[in-house]
Structure 1
Amino acid sequence: MTELRQTLPADFLDKMSALLGPEAFRAFLESYRHVPKKGLRANTLKAGRDEMVQHIPFKTQPIPWCDTGVYIDAEERPGKQLAYNAGLYYVQEPSAMIPAAALAPRPGERVLDMCAAPGGKTTQLACALENQGLLVANEVVKTRAKVLASNVERMGITNAAITNVRPDQLIDIFGPASFDKILVDAPCSGEGMFRKDPAVAAAWRLENVAQCARRQKKMLETVDILLKPGGALVYSTCTFAPEEDEQIVEYLVQSGKYEAQPITLPGLPDHGRPEWTAHGCEAVKQAVRVMPHRVEGEGHFIAKLKKTAEAPSEVFSKRSRPKKKKRSLWRRASKKDLKDFTAFSETVGLKWHGSDLIIAGDVLIALPEGLYPDQLDRGKWVRPGLEIGTFKKGRFEPAHTFAMALKADQIASVYDFKDEDEAYAYLKGEPIVNAGAHKGWTLMCWLGYPLGWGKASGGTIKNHFPKGLRILKK
């Protein structure tokens, strides 16, 4: 074990030894010798788990706590597959699938993923919502928010709005008691990721734990305003630190506003430890601990709580009451505005109707249910809804994001690739030749799953797969 002690922080090892006791600590330390498994989670907006497995060349094993997830071996490269580019699955650490499964939103609900990047939990929540209701995914770091948007778009999610604001600014946009369910996968000291990412271990400091706990409590003050009475909160971390785990749940329960709820997902033998709280809080037994020497997954802590308090009085910051009303960047699309989009739809035989179409500049966007143009002026938006396309001079050009949200039976103009080589050629940005009698905008599909757009003329389909997403080789 000497080499392990040289790679893991001494303060961390001392703390875990004291918490776990000699026997469990030895097993815990031994788990760091094991190579972590990768996980894939089926995007049920496009395909179920069995259908996904048929389209990947990997040996798979079901993940107990996620009925749409499978383990694959660590050496596999799932991001190189056509099924990945078609959005049939999300590559996700297996135990990271627990929080969204525990929250279990239902279609039509209003759900907030407060710390959403890179998008694993957001896309999992979207599958549970079945593209119905409103899913707000917030990420405070701009570069990470862009990665989040890319994953949301690849998965064909239509009911997601992506914000790039501080958590408290969400109150300005949506107001108090505006969400049925909230997921807070809180920024933490990251102890559960040491095996997967040695750089996290190298950056860890004991004093960071207390700093993280303070930030987590501050974030939960905002959650308390945003969550409806009777609503559900799932709080999760990827750390072992009781200060950020059990003691945060104790803080919420002792506020008198929350009741801990059981998490009954299979394959999770370990629960919160009352002896690791400040006052022996028995409610933490309802929470789940994921220990890498006990399950095939990295370290996580997940708690589910029901809000029992009444709705707070209306709380808005000064930012929500501007002295002068600025001209909005967003407006609802009129019938006249949609003339070129209507012409495009008729030409390609499109069977799709957005419920609330808005225009930002020359871009056409479909807003999710329950999101309104006046809210868009109150914050920074990476993606307020589904981008449909752009109005050019006298024509309409469809967006790649729109292609990924469509199904092949929603449009008449479809090209199915002859084989995998032709599909990979498309992903490289190459034109498709000898494409037959196709004309104009065409949805490019692999086995019926959209990959993007092409524009056909004279037997050749010009490639419109986004340059930033193109691959270099198969």
Structure 2
Amino acid sequence: MQLPDSLLQSLAEEAGFDRKSFLEAHALPAPVSIRLNSLKKTEPPAAATPVPWTATGFYLPERPVFTLDPLFHAGAYYVQEASSMFLERLLTAFLPDEGLRVLDLCAAPGGKSTLIANVLPEESLLVANEVIRPRSGVLADNLTKWGRTDTFVTNNDPRDFQRLPGFFDAVVVDAPCSGSGLFRKDPAAISEWSDDNVALCAQRQQRILADIWPALREDGLLIYSTCSYSRAENEAILDWLSSHFSVEPLALDQLPTGVVETHTARGNTGYRFWPDKVQGEGFFIAAFRKTAQEAELRLRNLPKNKRKEESLFSPWIADVSDYTWVEKNGDYFLLQPEHTAAFDALSQHLYLRKAGVRLGKLAGKELLPDHELALSVAVNTSVPTLPVDRDAALRYLKREEFDYDATGRGWQLVTFDGLGLGWVKVLPNRLNNYLPKDWRILMDIREN
């Protein structure tokens, strides 16, 4: 792998950089790592080894075909690069243990969003945003797999969040960057790298931070990260931020072996991940506390839910009285009661692509269940299920016919290893598959 010489020259003085071992690491395959969904699966695969800086991350000895694992489609785990999981350390170190509103600003495809959802305190709300519309759809799908009721997805430019002053207790900005830290995973990106692109990315990163700044409350936590090695996108951005805004840099007391702490001329602290020092890709991350006062959006007092649909929803939702719901264009969305005011504010000021869990539509006195409900951890355990083996699960996910042994008739939840995959409706002489067409597997399962 031929890395850009100008990049290597620019890294010569960076803390932790060793040109020889750095190049040797890029001649090796990238590690494979996953992070478990703590609400769906707690046991790692056989032969997996822990990622040192997270409780739920594991390295795999080799890369399987994830598309052909029903547990992947059920949201039991997320395939995520190990270095980026270090976000968990900063969140657990610096977030208060109380209900919070957190924004993952540049969230697609969803790795950091699912991680944030795992570690937030109870009664918290995660808003995951992606400015590019097709990527926001991928983000929504991955959070649907994760199955939680406390996550929303928005599709907005960072400046749109200025309509919500002081709304968030924490903002995570995993900024678009030149991507040099992922050359080992994506060698084709080497040809696209240039000093000019690094400079362009740095300008974009400054704009993103300036645009989102008003939405973070006073004393709020800002976490900034990139998958770039370049100082212009990392330490220089920290110094730019601290020279333009009132912030307090934050630092961890202890670091795992191999993680390199860096310091800037303005006294800011960041953390670098080098692929020859850790079992992971190139990554940079830093944290700040906002010290400036900020006006805060006043949320409306909303009338209590009349809960007239509770008897219709109770067979489908575990502990239905713990939730509330809203109706929009005939669809019902399951929310936590403490998030209704936030839902109202976000609906007014942003494009809200996903909110809580979409339950489905009512047809008379019957719920037509949505796919989101099938993957949700809120689904009632008394819902009729259709357990299937791996072969049948993959055929279901391809929307092909499969062998089944159903008891009873009507709506049933197809499950694999106890986790929901989607809905079917069992009729006297056939089974209707309600997996959304855009969720189906396209790969030929017979060749694997």
The two structures have a TM-score, normalised by structure 2, of 0.88
Alignment partner of 1:282: what SS?
A: coil
State the 1:256 CA deviation: 6.0
| Compared CA separation, residues 455 and 333, structure 1 to 2 (3 A) | farther
The question of whether the paired residues in 1 share the 8 Å contact of 2:422 and 2:435 is answered with yes
Partner of 1:325: none
Partner of 2:357: 386
Partner of 1:441: 411
State the alpha-carbon separation in 1 of the partners of residues 117 and 280 from structure 2. 23
The question of whether the paired residues in 1 share the 8 Å contact of 2:39 and 2:377 is answered with no
The question of whether the paired residues in 1 share the 8 Å contact of 2:68 and 2:445 is answered with no
State the alpha-carbon separation in 1 of the partners of residues 381 and 259 from structure 2. 48
Alignment partner of 1:437: what SS?
A: coil
Answering whether residue 248 of structure 2 is matched by residue 259 of structure 1, we say: yes
| Compared CA separation, residues 349 and 99, structure 1 to 2 (3 A) | closer
State the alpha-carbon separation in 2 of the partners of residues 412 and 461 from structure 1. 20
Deviations 1:307-336 (A, max 9, x none): 12222x4799xxxxxxxxxxxxxx997656
Partner of 1:296: 279
Answering whether residue 65 of structure 2 is matched by residue 77 of structure 1, we say: yes
Alignment partner of 2:326: what SS?
A: strand
Answering whether residue 31 of structure 2 is matched by residue 59 of structure 1, we say: no
Deviations 1:181-233 (A, max 9, x none): 11110111111111211222111110122222222122212332111111111
State the 1:108 CA deviation: 2.0
Amino acid of the structure 1 residue aligned with 2:261 = H
State the 1:62 CA deviation: 0.7
Give the counterpart of 1:358 among 307, 323, 326: 326
State the alpha-carbon separation in 1 of the partners of residues 21 and 15 from structure 2. 10
Q: List alignment gaps of at least 5 residues for structure 1.
A: 275-279, 317-330
State the alpha-carbon separation in 2 of the partners of residues 466 and 189 from structure 1. 35
Give the counterpart of 2:135 among 141, 144, 155: 144
**What RMSD in Å do the two structures reach over aligned CA positions?**
2.8
The question of whether the paired residues in 2 share the 8 Å contact of 1:117 and 1:139 is answered with yes
| Compared CA separation, residues 202 and 438, structure 1 to 2 (3 A) | same
Give the counterpart of 2:34 among 27, 32, 40: 40
1:172-251 to 2 correspondences below 5 Å: 172=163, 175-251=164-240
Answering whether residue 256 of structure 2 is matched by residue 271 of structure 1, we say: no
| Compared CA separation, residues 350 and 304, structure 1 to 2 (3 A) | closer
| Compared CA separation, residues 140 and 418, structure 1 to 2 (3 A) | closer
Answering whether residue 14 of structure 2 is matched by residue 16 of structure 1, we say: no
| Compared CA separation, residues 107 and 99, structure 1 to 2 (3 A) | same
Kindly, what percent of the aligned residue pairs are identical? 33
| Compared CA separation, residues 391 and 315, structure 1 to 2 (3 A) | closer
The two structures have a TM-score, normalised by structure 1, of 0.83
| Compared CA separation, residues 461 and 243, structure 1 to 2 (3 A) | same
Partner of 1:426: 396
The question of whether the paired residues in 1 share the 8 Å contact of 2:425 and 2:433 is answered with yes
Q: List alignment gaps of at least 5 residues for structure 2.
A: none
1:90-105 to 2 correspondences below 5 Å: 90-104=78-92, 105=95
Partner of 1:277: none
Amino acid of the structure 1 residue aligned with 2:233 = E
| Compared CA separation, residues 138 and 100, structure 1 to 2 (3 A) | farther
Q: Which moved more, 1:355-364 or 1:450-459?
A: 450-459
Answering whether residue 266 of structure 2 is matched by residue 281 of structure 1, we say: yes
